Chain A
């Protein structure tokens, strides 16, 4: 598998570390359903999935990657820091 880093270009999978589904962190200080969802529940879609990948042995950027879980096709990747735009 290969991923395109917006800074480094297309690179081999071994440079990256998976960092989980791209979810919005609840921020609240007390435990509730929002935190339960954020930490434990995943949609596991058959199709498009948005996920974070860190270019860990590359440039250290965290990427927001859109990927089709059925075909493994990478539909897009952007810097997470830029809001994933």
Chain B
């Protein structure tokens, strides 16, 4: 029921919204929870397991009950806390976990058989027969239990992530946080002040006390205005700090667009921040805890602080007759505020015998609430007083069991909270939270003045630690009565008393866990699922630990508490992974011929981050194989053009460049003559092959190394490590020139004629022999021409500065086409190299050695190199290792799929008998049959043998002949022509 006056709602801005299809009205400034309450709704959801009707329990992010689904279709957002959702016009909310309706839910039958459904029920009941679990039990249980459902559609909304840096991060903008920000802000350091509410102020917004002689909310407003005027202070509202990470990094979730009826398209719904701060003040306040008693989950039972928030901030009476129950002075504040707002108070119950009150209401010191009734809304409250049982008619019960500091973030770097008898709760650890200083309620300092002062002091400490001067900062006058509490976790009695409302865990469940000897808090938590719901047990953890301690004969301090881990509130994966959809998934690296290749209808394949053309289809070609076969034929018979710019190119200079190459390559490069190119093999320190490629000598102290496309980054990192760490005194200068040059293979018997034509010069063997290079001028541009071959044909690679890449590619292709050739793609390139037995990372997969590849003679004995000692291990030189061979089909089945295993004929195709495996495979249009490369035990000694290939996954069995890993021109005459 809405109160006629007061509150911080804007009564001039009424808003219509709907809940379960019914239209209601609220005001700007309402949360969905306060608006539902103002409209008299008691039941807003059903519980997780027993489907019990539930009402609003809190007024903040700790809410365990009031989870709703917002919106519809792809935008439907499940498990939104009604207490955090700002009301906007047109908001559509639906209740969850009920069918067919909130009032009539068939699964409520669970509640009637609850005696059989306690903690551990699933583990014990659904064990046999084993096969039933996945097929029957689990699907049924999942359907019965649970929260809201995902839409199942792609998320249409934008999300964002961002980085921020500051000197001091203040977490929470209540009295402590505001004072900390004021203190640090006036010192001139960069401050970020985060608060999860729409309005900074924290507990002050719900308070009727005075601060500095003005109403608490007004003081908060004024403090915020002062902060907003400071250029070094950034106030981030609707932002919850969710985690603390190493080195002063904090995660925070900002709800950017969730409070808006209409969002401009690019406006994100959420932004996930990584905030880096030298120091942080944890001013997250405290969470009130309830007291457990019979049926304490009934709609209308509510935290005392929440009752005050609804009455004072939202001008809503949570009931027409409210009973107030507590074990500390906070209950008295709630009763006082209710009376002041004109709400009838049925009684004030204080568990402390010595308690007194000046309030004009029925007062029950030394009494406790033993049970409540009212399935769809509270009806009666039963008290146990020293005079006996008393029953009050009441539709709302305010409960205060004391305050727990919100110390969650102090545990994220392994801080272990310590028990404090004075507040009957845990306090942040004195250590284990570098750079994070707790203040106010989070430090167990609950009275407003203490919170203000501790916020100031925390910021002052942070400033001192940062070497800043601390300007004088006056702490305003405020309420300072000390906090007194008498621990009360649970009122013994019959029936079920709830601890964890969100996961339906009762006192009996926790005791059951103890009886089963799950004595550790961590075991009890997992056995009962206490604290494992979306609210992470914010209002139930401590009470559950206390009940466990009681059941195991320990006090709470001995029982301990489970470890809090990030995130403090649920963070949508979409926010953490913001930007990672579609094109944002990974950078796209495009070659200079990309546009031209697309214009030629080439489908692209990804090679690392690069996009390379698979093949260039021509009119009439219906399959990729037709195009590929034609392109292979072009290269073998005429001339083909391929973009090979993606290969890594590293420019290596310096006095010791030659020695450095000798060190990083297994073979020798210091002896390579200028103008010449050599194939090099690079090993890891453990003796396995890392990469291969050609290196050209450009000058006396100048080399150009090429790497494979896939390993370019890895090789560069490896070389930097070798130069800086292993050979720091050598003069070696490394720089990647991969992107500076566009490079094109011109391959095939007509390649020389084509290049002689376009370069206008003779390229005979004496001018440019195989494995040589020359500088060339092409169209007035200086380039480099290498005579190297990855196809086994007479071939060249022509490099020009990247800006000319597209132009050169286009013209080379045109020239090739005039000679019966054309562009070829990755498919043909792969076939050409397999026909020749040339290697890629299919073979250099990290577990093969030079010996395995038949390249052991490349390992020089005349100089030291990386991997030399490792490769000399006998086990890496054993004859029976799996070694490179060629394979060709000899039976009716012609398929040799890569990844298939090899077996000796007649032996069973099981792992123990595997003789090797296939790494590369292609249909050779040149030879008219499939050719493959693979590794086979003692491979080179088995040439000519027949071997059985089995592909278990695809169900293919092929009889193969083992052959040399080179199917064409084994003497290598063609590239030397």
Query: In the complex they form, do A and B come into direct contact, defined as C-beta atoms under 8 angstroms apart?
Result: yes
> Which residues on B sit within 8 Å (CB–CB) of A31?
869-870, 872-873
The answer to the question of B726 belonging to the interface, with a C-beta cut-off of 8 Å to chain A, is: yes
Number of interface residues of A (CB under 8 A): 34
> Which residues on B sit within 8 Å (CB–CB) of A29?
864, 868-869, 872
Binds A, one of B41-49, B240-248, B391-399: B240-248
- Bound-complex Cα distance A71 to B717 (A): 28
Q: How far is the CB of A20 from chain B (nearest CB, A)?
A: 9
Pairwise interchain contact A62-B247, C-beta atoms closer than 8 A = no
> Which residues on A sit within 8 Å (CB–CB) of B724?
61-62, 79-81
1/0 per residue A27-53: CB within 8 Å of B?
A: 111111001001100000000000010
A residues 48-85 touching B (CB-CB < 8 Å): 52, 54, 56, 60-62, 71-74, 79-83
- Bound-complex Cα distance A73 to B725 (A): 23
The answer to the question of B276 belonging to the interface, with a C-beta cut-off of 8 Å to chain A, is: yes
The answer to the question of B728 belonging to the interface, with a C-beta cut-off of 8 Å to chain A, is: yes
> Which residues on B sit within 8 Å (CB–CB) of A56?
717
> Which residues on B sit within 8 Å (CB–CB) of A10?
247
- Bound-complex Cα distance A3 to B246 (A): 10
Pairwise interchain contact A74-B869, C-beta atoms closer than 8 A = no
The answer to the question of A1 belonging to the interface, with a C-beta cut-off of 8 Å to chain B, is: yes
Pairwise interchain contact B245-A1, C-beta atoms closer than 8 A = yes
> Which residues on A sit within 8 Å (CB–CB) of B870?
31, 35, 39
The answer to the question of B414 belonging to the interface, with a C-beta cut-off of 8 Å to chain A, is: yes
Q: How far is the CB of B277 from chain A (nearest CB, A)?
A: 11
Contact of A2 with B726 at beta-carbon distance under 8 Å, contacts A17-B717, A19-B721 already known: no
A2: contacting residue among B248, B717, B868, B873, CB under 8 A: B248
Pairwise interchain contact A73-B864, C-beta atoms closer than 8 A = no
Q: How far is the CB of A34 from chain B (nearest CB, A)?
A: 9
The answer to the question of A26 belonging to the interface, with a C-beta cut-off of 8 Å to chain B, is: yes
Name, among A19, A26, A61, the residue most crowded by chain B CB atoms within 10 Å (CB to CB): A19
Q: How far is the CB of A57 from chain B (nearest CB, A)?
A: 10
> Which residues on B sit within 8 Å (CB–CB) of A54?
717, 720-721
Pairwise interchain contact B249-A62, C-beta atoms closer than 8 A = no
> Which residues on A sit within 8 Å (CB–CB) of B274?
12
Q: How far is the CB of B579 from chain A (nearest CB, A)?
A: 14
> Which residues on A sit within 8 Å (CB–CB) of B414?
71
- Bound-complex Cα distance A27 to B867 (A): 10
The answer to the question of B434 belonging to the interface, with a C-beta cut-off of 8 Å to chain A, is: yes
Pairwise interchain contact A60-B869, C-beta atoms closer than 8 A = no
Q: How far is the CB of B872 from chain A (nearest CB, A)?
A: 5
Q: How far is the CB of B870 from chain A (nearest CB, A)?
A: 6
- Bound-complex Cα distance A30 to B644 (A): 38
> Can you offer 25 A-B residue contacts whose CB atoms are under 8 A?
A2-B248, A2-B249, A3-B247, A13-B247, A17-B717, A27-B864, A30-B869, A30-B872, A31-B872, A31-B873, A39-B686, A39-B870, A54-B720, A54-B721, A62-B720, A62-B724, A71-B414, A72-B246, A72-B247, A73-B434, A79-B724, A80-B725, A80-B728, A81-B724, A81-B728
Chain B residues in the interface with A (C-beta under 8 A): 163, 245-249, 274, 276, 413-414, 434, 685-686, 717, 720-721, 724-726, 728, 864, 868-870, 872-873
- For the complex of A and B, list the 4 residue pairs with the smallest distance between their C-beta atoms, beginning with the closest: A2-B247, A1-B246, A81-B724, A62-B724
Q: Assuming A2-B247, A19-B725, A31-B869, what are 7 further A-B pairs, CB within 8 angstroms?
A: A1-B246, A2-B249, A28-B869, A38-B685, A62-B724, A80-B724, A80-B728
